[in-house]
Amino acid sequence: MAIAVETQGPQAAVPAAEWEGADRHLRKGLSFTSLLFMSVGAIIGSGWLFAALASAGVAGPAAIIAWIVAGLFVLFIAFSWMEISAMLPRSGAIVRYPFLTHGGYTGWMVGWSYFLSAVTVPAIEAEAVVTYLGGQFPKADMVSSTGVLSWPQGILVGIGLMILFTTLNYFGIRLLGLVNQYVTWWKILIPTATFITLFLLLKGQNFAGLGPVHGSTGGFAPYGIANIFLAISTTGIIFSYLGFRQALDYGGESRRPQRDIPLATVLSVGIGMVIYTLVQVAFIGASNFHNAGVAPGDWAALAKSPWSTGPLKNALDAAGIGAFTAFATLLVIDAGVSPSGTGWIYLGTSARTNYGLSVVGSIPKWFQLHNRYGIPWLALIAALVVGCVFFVPAPSWYLLVGFISSCTVLTYIMGGLSMPAMRRFAPNVHRPFVLRNYWFWAPVGFLAAMMIVYWSGFSTLVDVFAAVFVGLPLFTWYYMRNKGWINPVAAAVVGLVFTGAWVYLNKEGGWVLTSKLVPGSWSFPVYDIAFSLAVAAFCAVIWVLSNAEGRKHIVRGLWFVFLCLAVFPLSYYGQFGPQASPSISFPWDTLIAVGIGLVAYGLGLLSSFETDEMRDIVAAAASSGTGGGGSAALTGHVPPAPVPGSAAS
């Protein structure tokens, strides 16, 4: 029985079952093993091939600590998401939940951020394949010595890989899950065999005792404690763990989502943490500075040496032992297998992100069109096209990894806000997984995500925030207009004016898409004030021009705008900014960032409200007596009491 939900404008009387019914077209073909291997397969991709060197170049041997801290932070983030995703298993989940608890404006900004990250991951995995293979076959002229893809050879090969990823996804979730299981076993065995082999080459002096080189202090943490946190966000460490979300994004296609999603999430992060940490230990110990042509202990120079196109293989080759060289050949093969496996999983994730955005009304409904295999094929093609575009501004794994990491983790802050909001507005919807002491873990997960974003540094955040806010005109042109919140002519004018302002500010400002300030450009205070005023003016104007419903959603999204605009100047003046002598040094800058996070968290909690879509789900739960899985997975039961003494039950 359909329940009508009242909305205003062209979308009035939308069937309440629409939100709940969208996933019924998707096939429930993923078992627990498939779901686990989706996450593990996404975690073990290009990161294990490149991040060991990149993180050592930033933190030295202390990169080992960075892997452990990052893994724990990801688990903190995942706790809240596990309760939500088990309660409401949905495909394209992460872009759909914010609309339920914080409305259209927050949902749009978070969804846009997630879209930017999701569509770029297949591109970076294709870049990883081309970089590693191109470094081994220099005559192919696919990649430079610093890891930048060439035109046309390198970029065209990358596009060809993207098409391959798309083809595999097109023929159905069962095929994807089956093939991925075999590939993931390979991706577990090869890294394990690699760190075991490299352990035979360990040199104790690589971990401590090396003298100062080029500004370092020598020893285990030659570049300081702060650089451990910088390495987490910018060198591929947090990027490598982001695959845990596959269990969430493919939730609508799981056979038993309530049990399998939380279990697959925790196990995948644990497996990844063990493998990555041991690979990092082995690489640090086996690094041969003489072979790379750099001074002993100069980890920063090692990361910029020819080793950058194949660090683990070069570490094995440097031993000069035939058996190790033969094993290194397997790494060349794996350089094609591991990133490709992750790439095709993430291309499916990108399609489901587009699908989820379509379900919530952010993009047209025809992105929900399915082929005979139950795959949203138009969303898949769109993911392919948009992903290929990113080869142009960032034709390098090392250039793209920080942007992807920060854009993605910026969206993860919503878990710590949406979960308490759902406890408040949907207390009787069945929760197969209930997070004990959620009042503690929810803000901890929020702060963990926010600190990872802050630690990515100013050079990354200036691009991230510019990319996030460039999507605001699309909010007025499509979402607000379709909802009937704003006059179509006014929506068009406001969007065009802001787009023009965005282009002018970032062209004249000279800070976006550049590693250093362009001569003649604005100083940072001028750019920051102008950019912040432009965003604030946009929010104020659309509030004035909106009807009552639109104003409610806009006001409830201002906390997210505050968070971005408050963190931005701190990222410039703090330890992770471009100043030679930071105005606010570590750890004081990090403590200020925590304070901003706590304020934003409080504002985010106050901004949650019972949306029409949330009422839709509660009504479906009240009228459903099945309590099974599938698309609805709802019952009217009160959540079970947590098991005393456990962190989660």
Token couple for 479 = 């979402």
| CATH value at residue 151 | 1.20.1740.10
pLDDT of residue 2: 32
Cα 597 to Cα 349: distance, rounded to the nearest angstrom? 28
Residue 354's nearest CA partner among 606, 125, 551, 169 is 169
- Could you say which DSSP state residue 486 is in? S
Cα 186 to Cα 339: distance, rounded to the nearest angstrom? 12
Residue with tokens 């930017």: 116
Token couple for 214 = 């080029």
pLDDT of residue 647: 36
- Domain assignment of residue 112, yes or no: yes
- Could you say which DSSP state residue 637 is in? P
Instruction: Determine how β-strand 14-15 pairs with β-strand 4-5.
Output: antiparallel
3-state secondary structure 498-541: HHHHHHHHHHHHCCCCCCCCCCCCCCHHHHHHHHHHHHHHHHHH
Cα 309 to Cα 306: distance, rounded to the nearest angstrom? 6
Report yes or no: 71 and 302 within 8 Å, Cβ to Cβ. no
CA atoms within 13 A on the CB side of 636: 7
How many H helices and E strands in the chain?
28, 2
Report yes or no: 187 and 41 within 8 Å, Cβ to Cβ. yes
- Domain assignment of residue 575, yes or no: no
Cα 427 to Cα 429: distance, rounded to the nearest angstrom? 6
- Domain assignment of residue 623, yes or no: no
- Could you say which DSSP state residue 5 is in? E
- Domain assignment of residue 13, yes or no: yes
Calculate the CA 433 to chain-centre distance: 23
pLDDT of residue 635: 36
Cα 145 to Cα 388: distance, rounded to the nearest angstrom? 23
Residues 6+ apart with CB under 8 A from 626: 632, 635
- Domain assignment of residue 274, yes or no: yes
Identify the helix (H) or strand (E) that includes residue 623.
helix 612-623
Tens digit of pLDDT for each residue in 219-233?
Answer: 899 999 999 999 999
Extract the residue ranges of the chain whose pLDDT is less than 70.
1-29, 91-93, 146, 172-180, 209-211, 214-215, 249-253, 322, 373-374, 394, 515-518, 624-649
- Domain assignment of residue 43, yes or no: yes
Nearest 10 degrees: Cα torsion 183, 189, 194, 199: 160
Print burial letters for 90-126: b (CB count within 10 Å at least 16), e (below 16). Answer: bbbbbbbbbbbbbbbbbbbbbbbbbbbbbbbbbbbbb
Cα 371 to Cα 236: distance, rounded to the nearest angstrom? 35
Report yes or no: 443 and 417 within 8 Å, Cβ to Cβ. no
Strand, coil or helix: 26: coil
- Domain assignment of residue 327, yes or no: yes
Cα–Cα distances in Å, from 142 out to 134, 145, 276, 332? 5, 10, 28, 15
- Domain assignment of residue 468, yes or no: no
Question: What domain count does the chain have?
Answer: 1
Strand, coil or helix: 91: strand
- Could you say which DSSP state residue 376 is in? B
3-state secondary structure 234-269: HCCHHHHHHHHHHHHHEHHHECCHHHHHHHHHHHHH
- Could you say which DSSP state residue 612 is in? H
Angle between helices 377-389 and 322-359 (to 10 degrees): 120
Cα–Cα distances in Å, from 47 out to 145, 416, 457, 555? 19, 26, 20, 39
Strand, coil or helix: 465: helix
Cα 166 to Cα 351: distance, rounded to the nearest angstrom? 10
Find the length of the chain: 649
Q: Write out the residue range of the structural domain in which residue 12 sits.
A: 4-417+440-456
Cα 456 to Cα 384: distance, rounded to the nearest angstrom? 27
**Residues 627, 628, 631: CA angle, nearest 5 degrees:** 110
Cα 396 to Cα 143: distance, rounded to the nearest angstrom? 9
Cα four-point dihedral sign 639, 642, 648, 649 = negative
**Residues 310, 313, 318: CA angle, nearest 5 degrees:** 115
Residues 6+ apart with CB under 8 A from 195: 275, 278, 279, 281, 282
C-beta neighbour count of 59 within 10 angstroms: 29
pTM for the full predicted model? 0.84
